[in-house]
Every structure is written in structure tokens, then in C-alpha cells.
Amino acid sequence: MDRVRFPIGKLDTFPRADIAALNTPLEAMPRLSKALGGPQLFIKRDDLTGLGLGGNKARQVDFWLGDALAKGADTVLITGAVQSNYVRTAAAGAAKLGMDCHVQLEERVKDPDHTYRVSGNVLLDKLLGATIYSYPEGEDEAGADANLGRIADELRAKGQKPYIIPLGPGHDPIGALGYVDAAREVVGQIYDKMTDLKDLPDAVVIASGSSHTHAGFLVGLRALGVTCPVVGICVRRTVDQQAPRVKARCDEIADLLGIDRLTDQDIEVYDGALGPGYGKPGDDTIEAMTMAARNEGLIVDPVYTGKVMAGLIAQARAGRWTPDQRVLFIHTGGAPSMFAYEPILTARLDAMDA
């Protein structure tokens, strides 16, 4: 796809590390569509971005590490949940670029078992050579960022050149530009008939957590004149908490790119699949994981994409879309984290299949 043909503000002036495998496929999901009785489902396979087992964070890290390299950094610092896909992908990107990586793992999930602490993304962080720190609070973004700052000061004193990928608001949303670009990629694939989806979707369904993926994709579509609803499925916060967060990120992205801001009416979030909370899969998530796997051979995880698929299924069953409408599911990856949930998943699946 020729990006120049689809310019979006200042997007192409930002440096990139070029470490993600793009463009990712955009495919039909006919068996799952049939199982739900409609709508026509399609999937953007951002689980296949390549870097460190893929996922949406590869697009974000591509921009963050591009900025880090442009500023002469040799060390990357990032904070996230114990089973953070973001942390794992940053560690992979740093390894690929020959940079040192220091990661801080926050306690966001209550009473995790041993498997959660050592398997999945934690194991991959170690394999990728990251130096690992622990942070006791899971809902203290400012504190987590401040602690990264203290670690960065220690590294500077040793002669290193650290670069912090921040967690909380108040920073330019550089990583979110990866999903502005993803929206442009999708539109280009449809325009060039490089996909089973031959026309623009009637709706997009996407994870809404930190909100950088959701907001970036939404801003990108609107900048290209695409007006379909972009439904952010809440994976960490309720609607009343998440909607203003998404709007704030959209405003920051628009300002960074020098384009018009979105309206409140552009923001749509759904928290019907959130329970029992962040990092805790409910029965609807397990059902969604099973339906995706057994109808499409598709792996969605219990923290993010499983809940997004559960939200899509719930709305389809409620009759939100007609059988002939086209709904695009953005698969943001996250499969490594499911191995940290093996005891829970095994028990639920055995009971389901009994």
C-alpha cells in the first residue's frame, strides 16, 4: 500500500523503527458468522505483526522505539501488568535493535497463582533478556511512571541513555500513531481489493484498555472520512471511566497530528463483557474463546481479545447488526498470556465439555 496516497496530517513525519511485519491480513470469518446468524464478520489479523509473537503493541512500539533511536537512546524502560503484552513486545523490539530493556511489572490482578507469575509473557520477558522490576500498585499510573523515572536516573548515573515509554496521561501519545497508521492500512487494503472485505465495514469492534489502540484507530478512520461506529470493548474500566479517557486520547492524537478533533458522539464504549474485572475471564469470555477457536481456528486470549469477542457476540445476539452488515473485529493478539491462565482455562473447558 502506498501511504503517500492516504496522508493523515503529520503522521509520516514521525520516525519509526520498522520492526513490525506489516501489512497484516484482513480476512472473513464465515463459520463464526454463520454460528451467530449474522452479521458478516471480518478480522484484522494484528496478532500476526511478527515482533515477539505479534500483537497490536508492535505497531505502537514501532513508533516509540523510532523516537528513542532518533533521540540517541540505548536503553528502553516500560511499565505494565505482570502479564503485559506491551512489556513483552517492547522487550522484543529492544532486543531486535540491540538496546537494553528494563521492565516494571505492576500488580493489577488480585491473588494471582504461581502460573500467572512465571508463565506466559513473564517467561518471554526473561527469554528476551529484560531486567525485571516489581511495582506493588496496579492502579497508580503516575506512581508507576515516577518509579520508572527513578530507575532511569540510576541508569543515567551508570552512563546509559534511557528512554521511557510512559503509561499515564500527560505525554504525547506517540505509540497511538501506530493505530492511526493501522486504520490507513485497512482502508488501503479495502481500496485495493486486497482483502475479503470488499467495502468499508458497517462497524469496527476493538479493545479499549489504555485507549491508545482504540483512539488511534478511531482518529485514523475519521481522518480518512470513514464514519462507521468504532465500538471499544472495555477490558479494564467501566464505560463512565473509559469514555472520557478515550476522548482525551483522541484529542491528544489529533493535536499531535495537526488535524481536527473528534466529537463526543464519535466515542462509543461497551462494558458488558468486562466482568468480573481486568485480567479475570468470565463465562462469556471462555465461551467466546471457544467459539473463535472451534469455528475459525482462531486463538483469542482471556484478558483482551477474548473479552472483545465476547462483547461482539453479545451485541450480535442482541440484534444490533443485520445479517448482511459487515463488522470488522480488530485482533490485537495477546495469545502468550493465555498460558498464564492454564489452571482456570483447563477447569472451565473441562466443565464445558463434560
Q: What is the pTM of this model?
A: 0.96
The residue out of 165, 184, 217 marking a domain boundary is 165
Same domain, 50 and 122: no
Mean pLDDT of 344-348: 94
Mean pLDDT of 241-251: 98
Q: Are residues 270 and 331 in the same domain?
A: yes
What average pLDDT is seen over the chain? Answer: 96
Do 244 and 345 share a domain, yes or no? yes
Query: Nearest to residue 49, comparing CAs of 38, 60, 33?
Result: 60
**pLDDT band at residue 12 under the 50/70/90 scheme:** very high
Structural domain boundaries, residue 238:
3-55+173-353
Q: What confidence tier does 277 reach under pLDDT thresholds 50, 70, 90?
A: very high
Q: Which of 84, 119, 208, 337 is catalytic?
A: 84
- The mean pLDDT value for 287-316 works out to 98
pLDDT at 198: 87
How do residues 46-84 score in pLDDT, each as one tens digit? 999 999 999 999 999 999 999 999 999 999 999 999 999
Domain harbouring 117, CATH code: 3.40.50.1100
* Same domain as 210, residue 106: no
For residue 129, what pLDDT is reported? Answer: 98
pLDDT at 2 over 70: no
Residue 337 has what pLDDT? 94
> 221 and 128 share a domain?
no
Reading the block at residue 266, the C-alpha cell is 464519535
Total number of domains constituting the chain = 2
For the segment 11-28, the average pLDDT, to the nearest whole number, is: 97
**Other Cβ atoms within 10 Å of 141 Cβ, number:** 17
Set of cell numbers at residue 209: 484498555
CA distances in angstroms from 130 to 58, 122, 255, 318, 338, listed in the order given: 17, 10, 33, 45, 21
Identify the domain boundary among 142, 165, 188: 165
**Are 186 and 223 in a shared domain?**
yes
**Same domain as 230, residue 277:** yes
Answer whether residue 44 shows pLDDT above 70: yes
Distance CA 188, CA 185 (A): 5
The answer to whether residues 161 and 185 belong to one domain is no
pLDDT, position 1: 58
Active site residue 84: yes
Same domain, 117 and 266: no
Give me the residue label for grid cell 521511557: 164
